[in-house]
A and B are shown apart, each in its own frame.
Chain A
Amino acid sequence: MKKIILILFAVTLSAVFLTNCTQSGETASDIDAAKKVYVAPGKYDEFYAFLSGGFNGQVSVYGLPSGRLFKIISVFSQNPETGYGYSEETKPMLMTSYGFVPWDDAHHPELSMTKGVPDGRWLFINANNTCRVARIDLKSFETAEIIEIPNSGGNHGSPFVTENNEYVVASTRFSVPIPEKDVPISSYKENFKGTLTFIKVDPNNGDMNIAFQILVPGIDYDLAHAGKGPSHDWVFFTSYNSEQANSLLEINASKNDKDFVAAVNWKLAEKFIAEGKGKKMHTVYYNNFFDESTLSAKANKLTSVTVLDPKDCPGLIYYLPTPKSPHGVDVDPSGEYIIAGGKLSTVIPVHSFSKMLEAIKNKDFIGDKDSIPILKYESVVAGEVENPGLGPLHTEFDGKGYAYTTAFITSEIVKWKLGTWEVVDRIPTYYSPGHLCIPGGDSEKPWGKYLIALNKITKDRYLPTGPELCQSAQLIDITGDKMKVLLDFPTIGEPHYAQAIPADILLKNNKKIYELEKNYNPSAVKSEKYARVERKGNEVHVYLTATRSHFKPDNIEGVKTGDKVYFHVTNLEQDWDIPHGFAVKGANNSELLIMPGQTKTILWIPQQEGVYPFYCTDFCSALHQEMQGYIRVSSAQSSVKISFN
């Protein structure tokens, strides 16, 4: 009996112990993870991470390891919160040869590099749909320039940079007739072409210009990466649909055993251009700049591009056969290994750059496609990673001899060793990772501390929010032999790729305010004494100042229905983190959010008589609610004269 009581007691005790454990739900390992991602209040994260917004067209800025969201940078999509794409100053940023395009699908953020290492000057990102590349200034975290890519059907394989930003590259996902013309879709093989675009970046101010385009056989080009070190002069582009199918690609483009990685020698391309092999081609595209001094954008229409045809340029491109419908192509930090994610392949093929050069020298070709030599697979492959999981997509590196590949179908990240090609660790992700990001993980010197898995499917990971769920990122510690998940954090839009950089590199250049004395916006009003209202025909220009806690003027009369009223609002503050907002009742476009020293303009066309309030939308001060005004709108026939105070 005593024994039974003892046993019962022991069982009860252990039950109590176990319940305690599960009630708090934390294991020692969880507590360790929590410590690693805990950034104490008021302390800074170690890294900035830039996540593409995918279908929201923007870039979001997170801190690592905390996973805290700091900002959404407006790039390709209008943002009524700030007035981006609505204000007169920013509307030209979204001009294209298809007119004003207020949205896009942004996939791949790419940090500018110096000597193969992210330098923190700019972030490039592609627009997949209406083909564009944007450059974001990392002093202000604002979009500085957008260039349209002509002769492209879909700008997916973009914007990957060479080691010193010599070029930002772009490849077309959809081949199309070049130049565009009205032809039957079934004439794909005969009429459709692809382009690989090389954008020159001015090393001083970052200005982008299309240096040249290479006309390539009409297949689907997918992703790219530039070489490093010994392979510095080369860029590698993946492709699929070597079958040249134009319908039901999931079947018809999955037939061939191997597709291609295109290796392009850009140094040689420069030589061919210098020799005059490039042909000027008429086309229309836009290059839009945000001028830092006027704080406003200009849209420039361009009409010509230089095109190279591989037929005239022997040695410019070689095709490396690669199994099977490869997606990502990633170059290891040494520049020797070129890793392709054959998404339908059972192995990860790794090409060797030195073997590729040798094979080219020996003319080890198995044929050609439209005059582009196809190298022999066995002659260029360095090894194959066996059992890498199904659906390998993208690879990044830790700088310590290991590569990390996402496997979409088996929903895991696989760690393997460069050189031996053996898998050394694997970790499940939730669920189905697309890209992954290690800070500097595609550069010569990765900061191999964390890895972010950018998962495509979220399901049950967070509190559900109806059918539409957030996307999920997972932070993984890669400092030990075993990978370890530290944190899940929800993300904005649909991040495809992300890049991260030590915060210190950006912190030292961070802009706090726009200096009013350097604001050369022609509509700026730098002192309240110049605040005024002017009528020019049916246009009314309101030169408004905003400062704590009032607008000047705040009573405006003499506006008539149908007038085009331009509110030019200057924030006179020169203090850190004192933005002002501007909103007028019935605005059909957006409000404005104006940073200290900035001027923004919004157009308002009142249709009905009455008195309309306007007010500050950013809680700027204790008397923010008092920061308001009225604008009187009279009938079109009225004789009320412009007056203000």
Chain B
Amino acid sequence: MKTKSRILLLAAALMLISLYFFPIWNIDLHAPQYPEGIGLRIWVNQITGEKKYDLSNINKLNHYIGMKPIEPESIPELNYMPYIVGSIILLGILVVLLKRKKLVIGWIGIIILVAALGLYDFYSWGYQYGHNLNPEAPIKIPGMAYQPPLIGSKQLLNIKAVSLPGVGGLALGATILIATAAVVTDKKGKPDDAK
């Protein structure tokens, strides 16, 4: 592989470090009573509010519709996701050292697979929270579910939920794009040191 492609690849791998510093996904809730905003931030290892008390305040609001409180400690994925991301970064560095294009393609495949599984997991948690409602909830609307959108916006009673990738999620996407670009551009030139 060309040096330029390898540098791109290394950058793509290192970009994943940002997942430890920025949320992967943002869910912002818009309601008339929250001019200051209220929202959730999904990180590689935790779920927090946009502001300090947002998570507990969202749980407090959700109890009216019978949604289970969101307790980050009860979501096991948050425990092992940091290790998976770490492993992907190390694999990426290894691939850069090994200079094998097939391995690079394999690495990209792994990232896409993990991202897809992550999204599916996020969707299924959203589904569970949105559908498994306490039958004794004060507010019951037949046929109404409160699953937040995977991506995009959705009106849930008085609240408009907007779900979009955060900086971490965008970095993950960028990693895939840059790594793919590294592979694609590498085709055109001759390998620097092909064996």
A46: chain B residues at CB < 8 Å are none
Which residue from A573, A575, A576, A623 sits with its C-beta under 8 Å from B64? A623
Task: Please measure, in the bound complex, the distance between the C-alpha atom of A574 and the C-alpha atom of B57, giving whole angstroms.
Answer: 7
Which residue from A575, A623, A626 sits with its C-beta under 8 Å from B60? A575
A622: chain B residues at CB < 8 Å are 64
A-B residue pairs, 7 tightest by C-beta:
A574-B53, A575-B57, A623-B138, A548-B60, A574-B56, A575-B53, A576-B36
Tell yes or no: A213 within 8 A of B by CB.
no
Tell yes or no: A547 within 8 A of B by CB.
yes
Q: Which parts of A301-316 form the interface with B (CB within 8 Å)?
A: none
In the assembled complex, how far is the CB of residue B64 from the closest CB belonging to chain A, in whole angstroms? Answer: 7
CB-defined interface of B43-68 with A at 8 Å, one 1/0 digit per residue?
00000000011001100100010000
B36: chain A residues at CB < 8 Å are 576
A575: chain B residues at CB < 8 Å are 53, 57, 60
A-B contact pairs, 18 of them (CB 8 A): A513-B53, A547-B60, A548-B60, A548-B64, A549-B138, A573-B60, A574-B52, A574-B53, A574-B56, A574-B57, A575-B53, A575-B57, A575-B60, A576-B36, A622-B64, A623-B64, A623-B138, A626-B138
Task: Please measure, in the bound complex, the distance between the C-alpha atom of A289 and the C-alpha atom of B103, giving whole angstroms.
Answer: 70
Closest to A547 in B: B60
Task: Please measure, in the bound complex, the distance between the C-alpha atom of A549 and the C-alpha atom of B52, giving whole angstroms.
Answer: 22
Closest to A623 in B: B138
A576: chain B residues at CB < 8 Å are 36
Interface bracket on A: 10 to 19
B138: chain A residues at CB < 8 Å are 549, 623, 626
A623: chain B residues at CB < 8 Å are 64, 138
B56: chain A residues at CB < 8 Å are 574
CB-defined interface of A602-639 with B at 8 Å, one 1/0 digit per residue?
00000000000000000000110010000000000000
CB-defined interface of B124-166 with A at 8 Å, one 1/0 digit per residue?
0000000000000010000000000000000000000000000
B60: chain A residues at CB < 8 Å are 547-548, 573, 575
Residue among A513, A547, A575 with most chain B CB within 10 A = A575
Closest to A42 in B: B35
Closest to A576 in B: B36
Closest to B60 in A: A548
Residue among B36, B52, B60 with most chain A CB within 10 A = B60
Closest to A516 in B: B53
Closest to A622 in B: B64
CB-defined interface of B17-56 with A at 8 Å, one 1/0 digit per residue?
0000000000000000000100000000000000011001
In the assembled complex, how far is the CB of residue A110 from the closest CB belonging to chain B, in whole angstroms? Answer: 32
In the assembled complex, how far is the CB of residue B159 from the closest CB belonging to chain A, in whole angstroms? Answer: 13
Closest to B63 in A: A548
Closest to A574 in B: B53
- Residues of B in contact, count (CB < 8 Å): 8
Task: Please measure, in the bound complex, the distance between the C-alpha atom of A623 and the C-alpha atom of B63, giving whole angstroms.
Answer: 12
In the assembled complex, how far is the CB of residue A547 from the closest CB belonging to chain B, in whole angstroms? Answer: 7
In the assembled complex, how far is the CB of residue A575 from the closest CB belonging to chain B, in whole angstroms? Answer: 5
A549: chain B residues at CB < 8 Å are 138
Task: Please measure, in the bound complex, the distance between the C-alpha atom of A549 and the C-alpha atom of B56, giving whole angstroms.
Answer: 15
In the assembled complex, how far is the CB of residue A554 from the closest CB belonging to chain B, in whole angstroms? Answer: 15
Task: Please measure, in the bound complex, the distance between the C-alpha atom of A575 and the C-alpha atom of B57, giving whole angstroms.
Answer: 6
CB-defined interface of A314-354 with B at 8 Å, one 1/0 digit per residue?
00000000000000000000000000000000000000000
In the assembled complex, how far is the CB of residue A527 from the closest CB belonging to chain B, in whole angstroms? Answer: 11
Task: Please measure, in the bound complex, the distance between the C-alpha atom of A513 and the C-alpha atom of B51, giving whole angstroms.
Answer: 13
In the assembled complex, how far is the CB of residue B28 from the closest CB belonging to chain A, in whole angstroms? Answer: 16
Closest to B52 in A: A574
CB-defined interface of A446-488 with B at 8 Å, one 1/0 digit per residue?
0000000000000000000000000000000000000000000
Task: Please measure, in the bound complex, the distance between the C-alpha atom of A575 and the C-alpha atom of B60, giving whole angstroms.
Answer: 10
Task: Please measure, in the bound complex, the distance between the C-alpha atom of A575 and the C-alpha atom of B36, giving whole angstroms.
Answer: 11
Task: Please measure, in the bound complex, the distance between the C-alpha atom of A574 and the C-alpha atom of B58, giving whole angstroms.
Answer: 11
Instruction: Known A-B contacts: A549-B138, A575-B57, A622-B64. Give 9 more (CB < 8 A).
Output: A547-B60, A548-B60, A548-B64, A573-B60, A574-B53, A574-B57, A575-B53, A575-B60, A623-B64
In the assembled complex, how far is the CB of residue B97 from the closest CB belonging to chain A, in whole angstroms? Answer: 47
CB-defined interface of A571-589 with B at 8 Å, one 1/0 digit per residue?
0011110000000000000
B57: chain A residues at CB < 8 Å are 574-575
Q: Which parts of A541-580 form the interface with B (CB within 8 Å)?
A: 547-549, 573-576
Task: Please measure, in the bound complex, the distance between the C-alpha atom of A476 and the C-alpha atom of B60, giving whole angstroms.
Answer: 47
Task: Please measure, in the bound complex, the distance between the C-alpha atom of A552 and the C-alpha atom of B95, giving whole angstroms.
Answer: 59
In the assembled complex, how far is the CB of residue B158 from the closest CB belonging to chain A, in whole angstroms? Answer: 10
Task: Please measure, in the bound complex, the distance between the C-alpha atom of A548 and the C-alpha atom of B60, giving whole angstroms.
Answer: 7
In the assembled complex, how far is the CB of residue B36 from the closest CB belonging to chain A, in whole angstroms? Answer: 7
Q: Which parts of A500-553 form the interface with B (CB within 8 Å)?
A: 513, 547-549
In the assembled complex, how far is the CB of residue A620 from the closest CB belonging to chain B, in whole angstroms? Answer: 11
A574: chain B residues at CB < 8 Å are 52-53, 56-57
In the assembled complex, how far is the CB of residue B31 from the closest CB belonging to chain A, in whole angstroms? Answer: 12
In the assembled complex, how far is the CB of residue A90 from the closest CB belonging to chain B, in whole angstroms? Answer: 26
B64: chain A residues at CB < 8 Å are 548, 622-623
Task: Please measure, in the bound complex, the distance between the C-alpha atom of A622 and the C-alpha atom of B158, giving whole angstroms.
Answer: 13
Task: Please measure, in the bound complex, the distance between the C-alpha atom of A147 and the C-alpha atom of B36, giving whole angstroms.
Answer: 38
B53: chain A residues at CB < 8 Å are 513, 574-575
Residue among B52, B53, B56, B64 with most chain A CB within 10 A = B53
In the assembled complex, how far is the CB of residue A26 from the closest CB belonging to chain B, in whole angstroms? Answer: 33
Closest to B35 in A: A42
A573: chain B residues at CB < 8 Å are 60
In the assembled complex, how far is the CB of residue B10 from the closest CB belonging to chain A, in whole angstroms? Answer: 43
Task: Please measure, in the bound complex, the distance between the C-alpha atom of A623 and the C-alpha atom of B138, giving whole angstroms.
Answer: 9
Closest to B56 in A: A574
In the assembled complex, how far is the CB of residue B123 from the closest CB belonging to chain A, in whole angstroms? Answer: 28
Task: Please measure, in the bound complex, the distance between the C-alpha atom of A576 and the C-alpha atom of B31, giving whole angstroms.
Answer: 14
In the assembled complex, how far is the CB of residue B57 from the closest CB belonging to chain A, in whole angstroms? Answer: 5
B52: chain A residues at CB < 8 Å are 574
Task: Please measure, in the bound complex, the distance between the C-alpha atom of A540 and the C-alpha atom of B53, giving whole angstroms.
Answer: 33
In the assembled complex, how far is the CB of residue B63 from the closest CB belonging to chain A, in whole angstroms? Answer: 8
Task: Please measure, in the bound complex, the distance between the C-alpha atom of A622 and the C-alpha atom of B57, giving whole angstroms.
Answer: 15
Closest to B138 in A: A623
A513: chain B residues at CB < 8 Å are 53
In the assembled complex, how far is the CB of residue B105 from the closest CB belonging to chain A, in whole angstroms? Answer: 49
Task: Please measure, in the bound complex, the distance between the C-alpha atom of A576 and the C-alpha atom of B53, giving whole angstroms.
Answer: 10
In the assembled complex, how far is the CB of residue A473 from the closest CB belonging to chain B, in whole angstroms? Answer: 30
CB-defined interface of B174-195 with A at 8 Å, one 1/0 digit per residue?
0000000000000000000000
Q: Which parts of A58-76 form the interface with B (CB within 8 Å)?
A: none
Task: Please measure, in the bound complex, the distance between the C-alpha atom of A622 and the C-alpha atom of B33, giving whole angstroms.
Answer: 12
Task: Please measure, in the bound complex, the distance between the C-alpha atom of A573 and the C-alpha atom of B57, giving whole angstroms.
Answer: 8
Residue among A549, A576, A622, A626 with most chain B CB within 10 A = A576
Closest to B54 in A: A575
Task: Please measure, in the bound complex, the distance between the C-alpha atom of A623 and the C-alpha atom of B52, giving whole angstroms.
Answer: 25
Q: Which parts of B47-94 form the interface with A (CB within 8 Å)?
A: 52-53, 56-57, 60, 64
In the assembled complex, how far is the CB of residue B86 from the closest CB belonging to chain A, in whole angstroms? Answer: 32
In the assembled complex, how far is the CB of residue B91 from the closest CB belonging to chain A, in whole angstroms? Answer: 41
In the assembled complex, how far is the CB of residue B107 from the closest CB belonging to chain A, in whole angstroms? Answer: 44
A548: chain B residues at CB < 8 Å are 60, 64
Task: Please measure, in the bound complex, the distance between the C-alpha atom of A573 and the C-alpha atom of B54, giving whole angstroms.
Answer: 11
Closest to B36 in A: A576
In the assembled complex, how far is the CB of residue B2 from the closest CB belonging to chain A, in whole angstroms? Answer: 53
In the assembled complex, how far is the CB of residue A180 from the closest CB belonging to chain B, in whole angstroms? Answer: 52
Task: Please measure, in the bound complex, the distance between the C-alpha atom of A576 and the C-alpha atom of B37, giving whole angstroms.
Answer: 11
A547: chain B residues at CB < 8 Å are 60
Closest to A548 in B: B60
Task: Please measure, in the bound complex, the distance between the C-alpha atom of A177 and the C-alpha atom of B102, giving whole angstroms.
Answer: 101
Task: Please measure, in the bound complex, the distance between the C-alpha atom of A623 and the C-alpha atom of B60, giving whole angstroms.
Answer: 13
In the assembled complex, how far is the CB of residue A280 from the closest CB belonging to chain B, in whole angstroms? Answer: 49
